[in-house]
Amino acid sequence: MNYYLIGRILKPHGVRGAFKVLIETDFPERFTRDESIIIEHQGEYKRFALQEVKFLNRGMVVLKAEGIDSPEEAVRYKNAGLVVTEEELTPLEEGMYYHHDIIGCRVVRSGEEIGFVKEIFFNGGTDIYVVEAGDGRTVMIPAVKAFVKNVDVEKKEIEVELIEGMIE
């Protein structure tokens, strides 16, 4: 079964076994919608019923999971990941993709391979695909319609149209 990271436990919070979580999803509302969470800790996955959810400042949430009732119990999960299964991923609008669907895709221009998407980062305005070219160069391609013409997740292939100088 595949799991996808949606948050990371930072530290215990309070005296009742809650913990502070760094949100690592574009859909933080899932913490109020979902009735349970899966904690990945030391290679094991365990589901806990959610008892309380309190959003803090941007990017943080305090969660109280059933069965974790003291700071001593909560500290055991420090740095553990909160994950979801593929079936629990939030459905995306057409033309939107999860990073795990894009990373590893073959990138082609006019039918010729440029390389493979190695990573993705957000520059404040859009995602940037970091493509490792066959000759060892790194090509950065903004994930916008002007450059990304087609994404075929099934074939793991992205067709791009680039401007002069983006590769050369």
Same domain, 17 and 81: yes
Q: What is the mean pLDDT of residues 64-85?
A: 96
* Tokens encoding 124: 């404040």
In the chain, at which residue ranges do the beta strands (DSSP E only) sit?
Answer: 3-13, 18-23, 36-41, 44-55, 60-65, 81-85, 106-109, 112-122, 127-133, 138-142, 148-152, 157-160
Q: What is the pLDDT of residues 30-42, one digit of tens each?
A: 898 889 999 999 9
Same domain, 121 and 70: no
User: How is 79-123 classified by DSSP, letter by letter?
Assistant: TPEEEEEGGGSPPPPTT---HHHHTT-EEEETTEEEEEEEEEEE-
Same domain, 79 and 104: no
- What is the span of the domain harbouring residue 130? 99-160
Same domain, 37 and 73: yes
Same domain, 107 and 151: yes
Question: Last residue of some domain: 64, 88, 112?
Answer: 88
Q: Give SS3 for 159.
A: strand
Residue 107 within any structural domain of the chain: yes
* Tokens encoding 37: 């969470």
More reliable by pLDDT, 123 or 19: 19
Q: Any idea what the CATH number is for the domain that residue 138 is in?
A: 2.30.30.240
- Say if strands 112-122 and 127-133 run parallel, antiparallel, or are unpaired: antiparallel
Same domain, 124 and 155: yes
Same domain, 123 and 55: no
pLDDT of residue 123: 82
Structural domain count, the chain = 2
Q: How far apart are CA 118 and CA 23, in angstroms?
A: 23
Residue 167 within any structural domain of the chain: no
- The yes-or-no verdict on residue 58 having pLDDT over 80 is no
Residue 165 within any structural domain of the chain: no
Query: Please, which residues have CB within 8 angstroms of residue 161's CB and are 6 or more apart in sequence?
Result: 109, 146, 147, 149
Same domain, 79 and 137: no
Q: How far apart are CA 5 and CA 81, in angstroms?
A: 6
pLDDT of residue 168: 65
- The yes-or-no verdict on residue 147 having pLDDT over 90 is yes
